[in-house]
């Protein structure tokens, strides 16, 4: 008897489960346009925003109000020197200021530093600092604070991640007087000022950083337009207006304290829920809009879509140049001619992402626009190149040579960020047409598979960066004792160019150097550039004044919420 009942129960549960599974899908047939379904299934985080919203509505006019802003993932830390995630930078940028700011035309302007001089040899920078700046905790901002900050990044006890890479080749600081500081570099670097403008080199309060130690990332204190209020793990981060703020950079209009009372960053990882929360009014803005929703939002009169192309390295597929047969330029070129990047961008991103042509993105200093439209898919050429190398098609349509199949190990990470796994699916089909068997490996452990073992023929990556020197880490011969570069390229001529690019004082000559490097990389098919990632924000029409910095991060100094 007992068995019989448990069977029935199992069966009932199963049917219920099956129905629930399909219900997810069928419900939406009706809600195709209203989008309620996505919003209603939303997480607690989004629902919690409702009550706060109404509270904010009471304070009328442009001044005041709270902006709720849905983030795609949770920041790892709000300590700029320790954080390694782009999503953290969206919050970090509101709490901290940098010494200088980079404008979209790549020029460097004052921020916390009023002026600076560079020594003849390019190895020391002397900054005059603003004298009216105070941290949120009342600590005065001065030369000592700057010295403390950069020495903190250098200190191995801090375990600085990306910040340490950005600060290189910084060596030491000298406090000249209360508001003058001299930074010494080991070698000249043309990327240094641009790097200083990045949020990860933002200035933290020395008092708070000393007091909180490792916990500083949970209690951040800076000089920025917003003060940190609270952080609920995986739910919400709140910041409030810094009333005494008066040192905004040139990139925003409002030089004083921000108009908003505060910003509530909600963490809503699920794409459909995030966009649904914006559409249902649970949050006022949400970041990283999937392409299919961009198309729909653009035609919706109640919402606006803000977008800024990120700069640095586009999403690029790197060949591992140490693995045969892809160490042969002809084999790589065959792949280059067989992969139809336009088709990928058109189908997966519905034309909302720009196709990348070069290892650098447009907007980065030295970007070579002549590379645009330089590659056209050409299956015959691709086949001819492989024939030339002696790979002949076998019975199953896959090429062989000396009894070995022509395979390509394509590694990508899970979860499927920006539909990158789907790119793998398409390339697998496109390369099958010229007789290459693509083995797609989706792994959670990219660190081991790619960086430690180097077990890939093709692996994609991108990097947001303010300077073309970003290429150095990817294409310069790597230190055999250190971490291998993604391309594992080792070409003395390119090494020399990359080293020159880093120090060349003349802008025109410097741009020429980077153009030469880009041409080489594209001609030799070291990589396949795929798309330029646009940072997108879906917002209610009542939100105004969100602008983007030169790297594509949002700034909220000018932002207002109309009641």
Question: Residue holding tokens 């600076």?
Answer: 116
17 binds other proteins (CB under 8 A): yes
Q: Which is nearer to other proteins, 8 or 210 (CB)?
A: 8
Say whether residue 343 binds other proteins (CB under 8 A).
Answer: yes
19 in contact with other proteins (CB under 8 A): yes
> Does 55 interact with other proteins (rule: CB under 8 A)?
no
452 is a contact residue toward other proteins (CB under 8 A): no
Residues near other proteins (CB under 8 A), total: 54
Rounded to a whole number of angstroms, the minimum distance from the CB of residue 500 to other proteins is 42
Contact between 38 and other proteins by CB under 8 A: the answer reads yes
Alpha helices (H) in 228-353, listed in sequence order: 271-280, 291-298, 329-338, 341-348
**181 near 175, Cβ under 8 Å?**
yes
Minimum distance, C-beta of residue 479 to other proteins, in the bound complex (Å): 30
Is 348 near other proteins (CB under 8 A)? yes
**Nearest-angstrom CA–CA distance, 429 and 341:** 13
CB of 226 to other proteins, least distance (A): 32
Pick 370 or 416: Cβ nearer other proteins? 416
- Smallest gap from Cβ 536 to other proteins, in A, equals 14
Distance, first Cα to last Cα, the chain:
64
Comparing CB distances to other proteins, the nearer of 172 and 428 is 428
Q: Is 414 in the site for other proteins (CB under 8 A)?
A: yes
Q: Is 429 in the site for other proteins (CB under 8 A)?
A: yes
Residue 106 binds other proteins (CB under 8 A): no
**Paired strand residues for 240:** 227, 262
The single residue listed with the structure tokens 């950005």 is 166
- DSSP classification of residue 75: -
- State in angstroms the smallest separation of the CB of 338 from other proteins: 14
DSSP string, 175-199: EEETTEEEEEESS--TTHHHHHTSG
Among 212, 271, 387, 516, binds other proteins (CB under 8 A): 271
Among the listed residues 293, 383, 466, 469, the single contact to other proteins using CB under 8 A: 293
**Given candidates 71, 317, 424, 540, which one binds other proteins under the rule CB under 8 A?**
424
Binding to other proteins, residues 176-235 (CB under 8 A): none
Beta strands in 321-436 (DSSP E): 354-355, 392-393, 399-401, 404-405, 407-413
Residue 239: strand, helix, or coil: strand
Dihedral, 221, 224, 225, 228 alpha carbons, nearest 10 = -20
Contact between 7 and other proteins by CB under 8 A: the answer reads yes
Which residue, 428 or 500, is less far from other proteins as judged by CB?
428
Q: Is 506 exposed, middle or buried (0-12, 13-18, 19+ CB in 10 A)?
A: exposed
* 346 touches other proteins (CB under 8 A): yes
CB of 14 to other proteins, least distance (A): 6
Min dist CB 523 to other proteins, Å, is 27
Q: Which stretch binds other proteins (CB under 8 A): 174-182, 212-220, 383-391, 437-445?
A: 437-445
Q: Applying CB under 8 A, which of residues 180, 244, 307, 347 lies at the interface with other proteins?
A: 347
Q: Is 31 in the site for other proteins (CB under 8 A)?
A: yes
- Provide the 10 A C-beta neighbour count for residue 9: 10
**Six-digit token string for 319:** 């060949």
Residue 329 backbone zone (phi > 0: left; psi -120 to 50: alpha; other: beta): alpha
Q: Which of 84, 138, 256, 415 binds other proteins (CB under 8 A)?
A: 415
Choose among 53, 50, 40: nearest CA to 270.
Answer: 40
Stretch of 56-64, 400-408, 442-450, 462-470 lying at the interface with other proteins (CB under 8 A) = 442-450
Residue 299 interacting with other proteins (CB under 8 A): no
10, 119, 215, 374: which one binds other proteins (CB under 8 A) = 10
Shortest Å distance, C-beta 343 to other proteins: 5
DSSP 451: I
Pairing verdict, β 527-532 and 407-413: unpaired
Binding of residue 3 to other proteins (CB under 8 A): yes
Nearer to other proteins, 14 or 62 (CB): 14
Q: Which of 85, 246, 379, 426 binds other proteins (CB under 8 A)?
A: 426
The only residue of 175, 440, 455, 473 in contact with other proteins, by rule CB under 8 A: 440
Which span sits near other proteins by CB under 8 A: 268-276, 362-370, 468-476, 528-536? Answer: 268-276
Q: Which of 194, 253, 264 is nearest to 230 (CA)?
A: 264
CB nearer other proteins, residue 18 or residue 229: 18
- Concatenate the DSSP letters of all residues of 500-536 into one string: HHHH---HHHHHHHHHHHHHHHHHTTSEEEEEEPEEE
CA distance 369 to 285: 34
Q: Which of 206, 290, 435, 552 binds other proteins (CB under 8 A)?
A: 290
Strand partners, 135: none
Can residue 28 be called a binding residue for other proteins (CB under 8 A)? yes
Tell me which stretch binds other proteins (CB under 8 A): 19-27, 170-178, 257-265, 504-512: 19-27
Q: Is the dihedral of CA 165, 168, 172, 178 positive or negative?
A: negative
492 CB neighbour count, 10 Å cutoff? 8
CB of 93 to other proteins, least distance (A): 28
Is residue 200 classed exposed, middle or buried when 0-12, 13-18 and 19+ CB atoms within 10 A define those classes?
Answer: buried
**Phi/psi zone of residue 368: left (φ > 0), alpha (ψ -120 to 50 degrees), beta?**
beta
Is 247 in contact with 97 (CB distance < 8 Å)?
yes
Report the site for other proteins in 499-558 (rule: CB under 8 A): none
Contacts to other proteins by CB under 8 A = 1, 3-4, 7-8, 10-11, 14-15, 17-19, 21-22, 24-26, 28-29, 31-32, 35, 37-38, 271-272, 275-276, 290, 292-293, 295-296, 343, 346-348, 350, 414-416, 421-422, 424-426, 428-429, 432, 440-444
């Amino acid at each position: 008897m007992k068995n019989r009942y448990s069977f029935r129960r199992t069966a009932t549960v199963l049917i219920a489960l099956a129905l629930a599974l399909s219900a997810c899908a069928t419900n939406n047939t009706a809600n195709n346009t209203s989008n309620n379904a996505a919003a209603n299934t939303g997480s607690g985080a989004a629902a919690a925003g409702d009550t706060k919203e109404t509270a904010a509505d009471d304070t009328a006019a442009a001044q005041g109000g709270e902006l709720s802003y849905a983030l795609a993932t949770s920041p790892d830390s709000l300590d700029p020197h320790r954080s390694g995630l782009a999503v953290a930078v969206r919050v970090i940028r509101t709490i901290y200021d940098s010494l200088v700011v980079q404008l979209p035309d790549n020029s460097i302007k004052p921020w916390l530093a009023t002026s600076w001089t560079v020594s003849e040899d390019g190895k020391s920078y002397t900054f005059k600092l603003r004298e009216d700046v105070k941290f949120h905790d009342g600590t005065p901002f001065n030369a000592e604070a700057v010295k403390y900050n950069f020495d903190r990044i250098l200190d191995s006890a801090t375990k600085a991640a990306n910040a340490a890479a950005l600060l290189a080749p910084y060596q030491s600081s000298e406090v000249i007087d209360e508001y003058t500081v001299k930074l010494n570099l080991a070698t000249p670097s043309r990327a240094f000022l641009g790097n200083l403008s990045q949020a990860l080199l933002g200035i933290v309060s020395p008092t708070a950083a000393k007091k909180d130690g490792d916990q500083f990332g949970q209690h951040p204190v800076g000089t920025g337009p917003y003060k940190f209020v609270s952080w609920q793990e995986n739910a919400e981060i709140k910041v409030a207006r810094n009333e005494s703020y008066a040192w905004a950079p040139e990139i925003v209009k409002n030089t004083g304290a921000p108009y908003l009372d505060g910003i509530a960053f909600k963490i809503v990882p699920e794409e459909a829920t995030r966009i649904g929360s914006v559409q249902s009014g649970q949050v006022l803005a949400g970041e990283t809009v999937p392409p299919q929703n961009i198309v729909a939002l653009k035609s919706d009169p109640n919402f606006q879509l803000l977008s800024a192309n990120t700069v640095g390295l586009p999403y690029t597929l790197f060949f591992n140049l140490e693995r045969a047969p892809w160490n042969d330029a002809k084999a790589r070129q065959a792949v280059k001619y067989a992969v139809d990047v336009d088709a990928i961008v058109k189908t997966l991103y519905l034309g909302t992402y720009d196709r990348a042509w070069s290892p650098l993105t447009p907007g980065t200093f030295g970007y070579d626009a002549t590379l645009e439209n330089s590659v056209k898919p050409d299956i015959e050429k691709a086949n001819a190149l492989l024939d030339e190398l002696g790979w002949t098609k076998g019975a199953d349509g896959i090429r062989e040579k000396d009894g070995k199949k022509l395979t390509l190990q394509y590694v990508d990470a899970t979860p499927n960020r920006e539909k990158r796994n789907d790119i793998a699916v398409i390339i697998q089909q496109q390369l099958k047409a010229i007789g290459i068997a693509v083995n797609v490996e989706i792994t959670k452990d990219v660190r081991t598979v790619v960086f430690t073992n180097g077990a890939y023929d093709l692996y994609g990556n991108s990097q947001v960066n303010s300077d073309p020197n970003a290429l150095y880490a990817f294409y310069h011969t790597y230190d055999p004792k250190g971490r291998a570069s993604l391309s594992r390229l080792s070409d003395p001529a390119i090494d020399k160019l990359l080293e020159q690019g880093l120090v060349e004082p003349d802008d025109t000559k410097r741009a020429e150097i980077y153009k030469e490097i880009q041409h080489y990389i594209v001609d030799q098919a070291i990589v396949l550039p795929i798309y330029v990632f646009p940072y997108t924000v879906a917002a209610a029409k009542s939100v105004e004044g969100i602008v983007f910095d030169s790297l594509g991060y949002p700034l909220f100094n000018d932002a207002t919420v109309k009641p």
